[in-house]
């Protein structure tokens, strides 16, 4: 456990050294800058637009961090040959993979938390300028705690994407890993098509294959509740719990896969 | 200057030079610059929904902002295009964010108003609102807006009453929606009924643009009342005097009016000599006044 902690903290420190946290400045400037411009452009919908934009930005920034750091987590150590000295220490390969994953998730957690804080500060500022926390023109309060549900679901998506990137990082080059991770990220939003594939093809096996792929590929679209939260549509707690359980189970499976592949690799 | 600062100074100087060159090009070859055409690259809602991945709501916002810019620019500089892209833009906005109620409601207003204040297409406005009702079946505001278009723009009181009635069934619908339905069936295009509706819209408006629009409509209704009164005054003067009134001064000199009558926006009314008609000036911010149905005319002919 301690070994996992050391590796995780190292990954976090390395990402700080790599100036990953600079994206937080970008995020804050983007939100504050756009909130100043929006008043004249949205016909009174500036709070709604900032809510949409903030959640989308948290998701996009997180996605890029997950993919571009995740794909280098293992391959970088191999390329730098630091893997040899690492594995010669009393660290198992499982601990190495899990530590790397936990480290990146920790980086993401810090990023997402700070972005969420900045997001609420901007929304609070806009509400203060508008002269109320919940004006009749808005569907929900400006500083709406329900937005945290969407942020939590984004974080779960990022956890899944990080695990995918790490899995690919254990056996392929960074470029190929990035392409595969982005490919699965996109496929993860088209899953509904696979689910209903049997209604558009005559071939039964093709329909079955699509069904299998639907259940096998990461299904990211149910974790996207941004629009519901912004429009103050209630999201049942049971739905959130099932999504959380699904994401955690899927992440565990991916990490086990990554470990299994990494165990078989020969570094001699 | 230290060696470390020298490159920075060069970079800033080069950027300034680039800006100056751009300015020179724009000044010297202003006519050759291609005009920014109003283009809509993607028209298929299915394609845009798919390519948006999980960013459909934020893309919907981008299309909403584009719609407002397109509409605002067209109103400021009418080019006779009759806002041909307005409906496709609103259609894409609402396909990307089907719960964006404001886009349906404002979009319907933009589509309904006669050109150049809008696209002059109440049929498309009804289509947009019906799309909104399909995805938001319990929002009484959308039923209200369809009813209002049938009432105000299409003068189809039977249909208007039906939509107001359906809206009144929705949860949270205000009591006066049921009254609208009754008023439509009994009094149709009555000016008092219009005033009642616009006052309600003014009271419930959550947006300054909608508030201004309702205030303008109420001022137009006041202007219609004043025009009726002035027409009666001019008619009575013409019947009494040997020479019909040619200017407002004739009535002022006779002591009938205290001065040139002004509409609620402060622009003088126009007196059409000989016939004795009173009209709103084309210079008035209230111009043009809404058309009123002739009494006793069946809705189909209006």
What residues make up the domain containing A20?
A: 2-189+224-264
* Model confidence band, residue B147 (pLDDT cutoffs 50, 70, 90): very high
Residues of A in contact with B67 (CB under 8 A): none
Structure confidence at residue A240 (pLDDT): 95
Would residue B252 count as lying in a domain?
yes
* Model confidence band, residue B32 (pLDDT cutoffs 50, 70, 90): low
Question: Any chain A CB within 8 A of the CB of B248?
Answer: no
Same-domain pairing of B49 and B72: yes
Would residue B169 count as lying in a domain?
yes
Structure confidence at residue B187 (pLDDT): 67
**Residue A268 pLDDT > 70, yes or no?**
no
Would residue A148 count as lying in a domain?
yes
Bond prior to A37 in cis (omega within 30° of 0): no
Structure confidence at residue B301 (pLDDT): 32
Mean pLDDT of chain B: 85
Same-domain pairing of B245 and B136: no
Q: Are the beta carbons of A44 and B207 separated by less than 8 Å?
A: yes
Would residue B198 count as lying in a domain?
yes
Would residue A178 count as lying in a domain?
yes
Would residue B251 count as lying in a domain?
yes
**Residue A94 pLDDT > 50, yes or no?**
yes
For testing contact with chain B, the best of A40, A41, A43, A139 (most B CBs within 10 A): A43
Structure confidence at residue B298 (pLDDT): 40
Mean pLDDT of chain A: 89
Same-domain pairing of B242 and B201: no
The mean per-residue pLDDT over the stretch B103-131 comes to 93
Name every residue whose Cβ is closer than 8 Å to that of residue A156 and which is 6 or more positions away in sequence.
A223, A243, A244, A247, A248
Number of structural domains chain B divides into = 2
Q: Are the beta carbons of B207 and A137 separated by less than 8 Å?
A: yes
Number of structural domains chain A divides into = 1
The rounded distance, in Å, linking the Cα atoms of A244 and A227 is: 18
Would residue A217 count as lying in a domain?
no
**Residue B31 pLDDT > 70, yes or no?**
no
Would residue B88 count as lying in a domain?
yes
pTM for the structure as a whole:
0.77
CA dihedral over B136, B137, B140, B141, signed as positive or negative: positive
Would residue B117 count as lying in a domain?
yes
What residues make up the domain containing B54?
A: 45-213
* Model confidence band, residue B34 (pLDDT cutoffs 50, 70, 90): low
3-state helix, strand, coil in chain A (%, to 5): 75, 0, 25
Share of chain A above pLDDT 70, in %: 99
Q: Which of residues 62-81 of B touch A (CB under 8 A)?
A: 64-65, 68-69
Q: How many CA atoms lie within 13 A of A22 on its CB side?
A: 5
Range ranked top by mean pLDDT from A114-123, B26-35, B237-246, B288-297 = A114-123
Model pLDDT for residues A11-38, shown as the tens digit of each residue: 999 888 888 778 787 887 888 788 777 7
ipTM of the complex: 0.81
Share of chain A above pLDDT 90, in %: 52
Would residue B10 count as lying in a domain?
no
Structure confidence at residue A3 (pLDDT): 86
CA dihedral over B193, B195, B199, B201, signed as positive or negative: positive
Same-domain pairing of B149 and B275: no
- Asked which of B153, B188, B213 is the last residue of a domain, the reply is B213
**Residue B227 pLDDT > 50, yes or no?**
yes
Model pLDDT for residues B36-87, shown as the tens digit of each residue: 556 676 777 778 887 888 899 999 999 999 999 899 888 888 777 789 899 9
Q: Are the beta carbons of A59 and B55 separated by less than 8 Å?
A: yes
For testing contact with chain B, the best of A45, A140, A187, A230 (most B CBs within 10 A): A45
Burial B244-274 (b: 16+ CB within 10 A, else e): ebeebebbeeeeebeeebebbbebebebeee
Residue B98 maps to which CATH number?
1.25.40
- Asked which of B213, B246, B275 is the last residue of a domain, the reply is B213
Would residue A91 count as lying in a domain?
yes
Structure confidence at residue B242 (pLDDT): 80
Would residue B104 count as lying in a domain?
yes
Q: At what angle do helices A46-70 and A93-130 cross, to 10 degrees?
A: 160
- Asked which of B161, B183, B213 is the last residue of a domain, the reply is B213
Q: Are the beta carbons of B54 and A230 separated by less than 8 Å?
A: no
Please check whether residue A100 is in contact with residue A74, taking contact to mean a CB–CB distance below 8 angstroms.
Answer: yes
Q: Are the beta carbons of A44 and B58 separated by less than 8 Å?
A: no
Name every residue whose Cβ is closer than 8 Å to that of residue A239 and which is 6 or more positions away in sequence.
none
Could you give the C-alpha distances from A8 to A2, A170, A263, B28, B37, in angstroms and in order?
10, 17, 19, 60, 53
Would residue A41 count as lying in a domain?
yes
The rounded distance, in Å, linking the Cα atoms of B4 and B199 is: 68
The rounded distance, in Å, linking the Cα atoms of A245 and A235 is: 16
Please check whether residue B198 is in contact with residue B214, taking contact to mean a CB–CB distance below 8 angstroms.
Answer: yes
Would residue A99 count as lying in a domain?
yes
Poorest-pLDDT segment among A164-173, A242-251, B111-120, B139-148? B111-120
Same-domain pairing of B145 and B282: no
Structure confidence at residue A165 (pLDDT): 95
Would residue A151 count as lying in a domain?
yes
Q: Are the beta carbons of B57 and A189 separated by less than 8 Å?
A: no
Model pLDDT for residues B255-269, shown as the tens digit of each residue: 899 999 999 999 999
Interface of A with B (CB under 8 A): 41-45, 48-49, 52-53, 55-56, 59-60, 135-137, 139, 186, 189-190, 220-221, 224, 226-227, 230-231, 233
Helix H, strand E, coil C: the string for chain B is CCCCCHHHHHHHHHHHHHHHHHHHHHHHCHHHCCCCCCCCCCCCHHHHHHHCCCCHHHHHHHHHHHHHHHHHHHHHCCCCCCCCCHHHHHHHHHHHCCCCHHHHHHHHHHHHCCCCCCCCCHHHHHHHHHHHHHHCCCCHHHHHHHHHHHHHHCCCHHHHHHHHHHHHCCCCCCCHHHHHHHHHHHHCCCHHHHHHHHHHHHHHCCCHHHHHHHHHHHHHHHHHHHHHHHHHHHHHHHHHCCCCCCCHHHHHHCCCCCCCCECCCCCECEEECCCCEEECCCCCCCCCCCCCCCCCCCHHHC
Same-domain pairing of B180 and B254: no
The SS3 of residue A19 is coil
Structure confidence at residue A40 (pLDDT): 65
* Model confidence band, residue B302 (pLDDT cutoffs 50, 70, 90): very low
Same-domain pairing of B140 and B241: no
Same-domain pairing of B67 and B96: yes
Residue A224: name the closest of A139, A158, A138, A141 by CA.
A158
Structure confidence at residue B297 (pLDDT): 44
**Residue A83 pLDDT > 80, yes or no?**
yes
Share of chain B above pLDDT 90, in %: 42
Residue A160: name the closest of A133, A187, A140 by CA.
A187
Poorest-pLDDT segment among A12-16, A73-77, B47-51, B115-119? B47-51
Please check whether residue A54 is in contact with residue A119, taking contact to mean a CB–CB distance below 8 angstroms.
Answer: yes
The rounded distance, in Å, linking the Cα atoms of A222 and A241 is: 12
Please check whether residue A162 is in contact with residue A104, taking contact to mean a CB–CB distance below 8 angstroms.
Answer: yes
Chain B: residue nearest A56 by CA?
B55
Same-domain pairing of B209 and B242: no
Q: Are the beta carbons of A227 and B206 separated by less than 8 Å?
A: no
Is the model more confident about B34 or about B123?
B123
The rounded distance, in Å, linking the Cα atoms of A151 and A55 is: 7
Residues of B in contact with A52 (CB under 8 A): 57-58, 60-61
Would residue A70 count as lying in a domain?
yes
Question: Any chain A CB within 8 A of the CB of B58?
Answer: yes
Contact pairs from chain A to chain B, CB under 8 Å: 61
Residues of A in contact with B61 (CB under 8 A): 42, 45, 48-49, 52-53
Residue B68: Cβ-neighbour burial (10 angstroms; 0-12, 13-18, 19+): buried
Model pLDDT for residues A159-207, shown as the tens digit of each residue: 999 999 999 999 988 999 999 999 999 999 887 778 777 777 778 888 8
Residues facing B262 on adjacent strands: B268
The mean per-residue pLDDT over the stretch B129-136 comes to 96
Q: How many CB atoms lie within 10 A of CB B87?
A: 20
Please check whether residue A43 is in contact with residue B209, taking contact to mean a CB–CB distance below 8 angstroms.
Answer: yes
């Amino acid at each position: 456990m301690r070994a996992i902690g050391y590796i995780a903290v190292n990954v976090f420190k390395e990402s700080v050294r790599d100036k990953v946290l600079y994206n937080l400045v970008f995020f804050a400037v983007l939100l504050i800058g756009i909130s100043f411009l929006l008043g004249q452009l949205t016909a009174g919908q500036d709070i709604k637009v900032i809510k949409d934009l903030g959640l989308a930005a948290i998701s996009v920034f997180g996605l890029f961090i997950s993919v571009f750091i995740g794909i280098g987590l293992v391959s970088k150590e191999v390329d730098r040959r630091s893997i040899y000295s690492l594995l010669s220490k009393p660290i198992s390969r499982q601990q190495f993979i899990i530590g790397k994953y936990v480290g990146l998730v920790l980086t993401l957690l810090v990023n997402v938390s700070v972005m969420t804080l900045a997001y609420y500060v901007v929304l609070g500022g806009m509400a203060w300028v508008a002269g109320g926390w919940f004006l009749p023109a808005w569907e929900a309060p400006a500083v709406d705690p329900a937005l945290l549900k969407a942020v939590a679901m984004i974080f779960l998506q990022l956890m899944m994407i990080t695990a995918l990137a790490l899995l690919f990082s254990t056996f392929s080059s960074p470029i190929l890993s990035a392409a595969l991770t982005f490919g699965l990220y996109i496929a993860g939003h088209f899953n509904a098509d696979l689910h209903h594939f049997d209604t558009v093809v005559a071939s039964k096996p093709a329909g079955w294959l699509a069904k299998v792929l639907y259940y096998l590929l990461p299904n990211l679209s149910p974790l996207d509740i941004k629009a519901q939260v912004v429009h103050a549509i209630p999201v049942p707690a049971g739905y959130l719990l099932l999504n959380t359980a699904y994401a955690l189970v899927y992440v565990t499976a991916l990490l086990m896969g990554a470990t299994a592949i990494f165990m078989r690799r020969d570094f001699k | 200057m230290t060696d470390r600062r020298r490159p920075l100074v060069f970079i800033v100087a080069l950027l300034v030079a680039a800006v100056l060159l751009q300015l020179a090009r724009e000044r010297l070859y202003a006519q050759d610059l291609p005009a920014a055409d109003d283009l809509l690259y993607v028209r298929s809602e299915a394609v845009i929904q798919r390519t948006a991945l999980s960013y459909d709501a934020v893309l919907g916002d981008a299309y909403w902002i584009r719609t407002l810019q397109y509409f605002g620019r067209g109103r400021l500089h009418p080019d006779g295009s009759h806002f041909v892209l307005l409906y496709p833009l609103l259609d894409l906005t609402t396909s990307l964010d089907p719960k964006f109620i404001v886009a349906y409601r404002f979009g319907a207003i933009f589509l309904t108003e006669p050109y150049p204040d809008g696209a002059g297409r109440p049929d498309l406005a009804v289509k947009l609102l019906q799309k909104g009702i399909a995805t938001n079946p319990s929002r009484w505001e959308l039923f209200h807006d369809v009813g209002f278009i049938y009432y105000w723009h299409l003068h189809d009181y039977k249909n208007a009453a039906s939509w107001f009635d359906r809206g009144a069934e929705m949860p949270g619908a205000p009591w006066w929606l049921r009254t609208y339905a009754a008023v439509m069936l009994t009094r149709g295009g009555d000016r008092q009924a219009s005033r009642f509706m616009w006052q309600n819209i003014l009271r419930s408006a959550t947006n300054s643009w909608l508030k201004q629009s309702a205030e303008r409509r109420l001022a137009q209704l006041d202007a219609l009342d004043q025009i009726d009164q002035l027409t009666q005054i001019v008619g009575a003067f013409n019947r009494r005097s040997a020479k019909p009134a040619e200017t407002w001064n004739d009535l002022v000199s006779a002591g009938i009016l205290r001065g040139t009558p002004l509409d609620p926006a402060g622009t003088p009314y126009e007196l059409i000599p000989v016939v004795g008609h009173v009209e709103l000036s084309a210079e008035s911010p209230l111009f043009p006044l809404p058309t009123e149905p002739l009494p006793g005319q069946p809705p189909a002919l209006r």
